[in-house]
Amino acid sequence: MASAQADAGYHCNEDYPNKFTTTGGTNVTYPDPKPRGACAGDRVVVTIPIVPTAAGPGTVVGTLSYGICDDKKTSCLMKKKDVTLAFDAGP
């Protein structure tokens, strides 16, 4: 799961297509290379489905793209965050 906290004074923009775009990784394939996320208050959360290709450690690599707005929606920003997540696939 990839997540990001909105900047101070902002909240997650539910109207923006919050998503994670996979760009690589080790010992992993992706059934959905661009999963969509959801807002949880001032956080965006994207669950990334993976299929490990081997037992042992691996990584998920990609970019989390999300939108944030201030409370009045007078200032909205599109943000990107490079993400590397480690996992360990059991035998």
Residue pLDDT tens, the chain, 91 long: 899 999 999 999 988 899 999 999 999 999 999 999 999 888 999 999 999 999 999 999 999 999 999 988 789 999 999 999 999 998 7
Nearest to 15 by CA among 73, 63, 83, 80: 73
pTM of the model: 0.89
Q: Which domain holds residue 33?
A: 2-89
Q: How high is the pLDDT of residue 90?
A: 85
Q: How high is the pLDDT of residue 45?
A: 94
At 48 the three-state DSSP class reads coil
Q: What is the dihedral of CA 38, 66, 48, 29, to 10 degrees?
A: 150
Q: How many structural domains does the chain have?
A: 1
